[in-house]
Amino acid sequence: MDKLSEVKKLNLGCGPVQPEDWTNVDGSNRAKLASKLPWLDSLLQKAGLIGETEFGPHIDILDLSKDLPYESNSIDAIYAGELWEHFEYEKAEHLTRECARVLKPGGVLRVCVPDCEEIWNTYLELVQQEKAKPAEQRSDEKIVAHVKMYFDDICTRRIWLGSMGHTHKWNYDEVQLISMFQRCGLNDVERGKFHQSRIEDVQKVERSDFLIVEGVAG
Ligand SMILES: C[S@@+](CC[C@H](N)C(=O)[O-])C[C@H]1O[C@@H](n2cnc3c(N)ncnc32)[C@H](O)[C@@H]1O
């Protein structure tokens, strides 16, 4: 049996989150270097040109904007933490459809992304709180900090030698993400709670409590 056909649980866009009994998949440039040319990676590390990495040959290197190289109905569970927002909307829908295809009937897809409803609600609340004050008592401090957080962490831009070349390309809310799952053929789609999942050992891969949506392949 080849490696891919043994795979049961996929952790897509794993980054540094790499539990042993999951198949951890990433496509960053650093993951490629450490996986395909580990000797060059450690040479560059020793020369002080790059830092340490959790990536290595144990990671599956895939460009997740392309078709998944797994057979249909072959996977039990797929988790993706803070990955969907790295794709243009159409590419994210393609990946959702691919996940629905490779999951066995009853297999679970679970995705966690930044919650833009919450982020933009907070922005509006901050602005309205200040507008409710007399002009001379207003302060823009909290609003500036919130907008800075948005551009630093949510609406990220390309930094060539940082962020592994990846950027965020879409913002989600519960309505959009649930609709996308349903359109791609997933059933029983609902917003999930942190670490509460049909995937038994989800706590091994889930480290953020943002907008979480889970659905079941039919
Ligand atoms: C923010 S990290 C998330 C890490 C981890 N899953 C977590 O929950 O903390 C996003 C990861 O997705 C990977 N990624 C982004 N676009 C990708 C693509 N097209 N193909 C494969 N991996 C990708 C990045 O390399 C990065 O490691």
- For a mutational test of ligand 1's pocket, the pick from 28, 32, 98, i.e. the residue with the most ligand atoms closer than 8 A to its C-beta, is 28
Looking at the chain, the whole-number percentage of residues with pLDDT higher than 90 is 84
Q: In the prediction, which pLDDT does 125 show? A: 98
Same domain, 69 and 149: no
- Report CA-CA distances (Å) from 42 to 31, 55, 61, 79, 142: 13, 11, 18, 30, 43
- pLDDT band at 124, cuts 50/70/90? very high
Whether residue 4 has pLDDT greater than 80: no
- The average pLDDT across 109-127 equals 98
Q: Which residues are CB-neighbours of 198 under 8 A, at least 6 positions away?
A: 77, 108, 214, 216
Joined together, the tokens standing for residue 145 give 């900090």
* pLDDT for res 163: 46
Rounded Cα gap, residues 15 and 26, in angstroms: 7
Q: Is residue 135 part of a domain?
A: yes
Whether 208 maps to a domain, the answer reads yes
| Of 112, 110, 111, the residue nearest 210 (C-alpha) | 112
Q: How far apart are the CA of 21 and the centre of ligand 1, in A?
A: 19
Sheet containing strand 9-12, strands side by side? 60-61, 23-26, 9-12, 75-81, 103-113, 211-217, 186-191
Inform me whether the pLDDT recorded for 136 exceeds 90. Answer: yes
Asked if residue 162 is part of any domain, the answer here is: no
Give the pLDDT confidence of 37-46 residue by residue, as tens digits.
Answer: 999 999 999 9
Residue 34: inside a domain: no
Average pLDDT, the chain: 92
**How far, in Å, is the centroid of ligand 1 from the Cα of 83?**
5
Phi, psi of 183 (to 5 degrees): -65, -30
In a domain, 54, yes or no: no
Number of domains within the chain: 2
**Domain span including residue 80:** 3-27+62-114+168-217
Whole-number pLDDT of residue 6? 60
Confidence label for 123 from pLDDT (cuts 50, 70 and 90): very high
Are residue 131 and residue 176 in the same domain, yes or no?
no
The reply to whether 172 and 207 lie within a common domain is yes
146 and 104, same structural domain?
A: no
Domain boundary among the residues 129, 154, 179 is at 154
Any ligand 1 atom below 6 A from CB of 215: no
Write the CATH number for 188. Answer: 3.40.50.150
Q: Distance, CA 134 to ligand 1 centroid (Å)? A: 45
Residue 39 included in any domain? no
Using pLDDT thresholds of 50, 70 and 90, give the confidence band for residue 159.
low
Asked whether residue 50 carries a pLDDT value surpassing 80, the answer given is yes
Q: What is the pLDDT, as a whole number, of residue 37?
A: 92
Are residue 105 and residue 183 in the same domain, yes or no?
yes
Q: Considering the domain boundaries, does residue 36 fall inside one?
A: no
Q: What is the mean pLDDT of residues 85-100?
A: 97
- Rounded Cα distance between 43 and 60, Å, is 22
3-state helix, strand, coil in the chain (%, to 5): 40, 20, 40
Residue 1 confidence (pLDDT)? 39
Q: Are residues 133 and 202 in the same domain?
A: no
- Shared domain check, 184 and 94: yes
Does 66 share its domain with 107?
yes
Mean pLDDT of 86-91: 96
Do 172 and 212 belong to one domain?
Answer: yes
Same structural domain, 109 and 184: yes
Same structural domain, 22 and 108: yes
Within a domain: 177: yes
pLDDT tens-digit series, residues 57-78: 899 999 999 999 999 999 999 9
Residue 2: pLDDT band with limits 50, 70, 90: very low
Q: Are residues 14 and 77 in the same domain?
A: yes
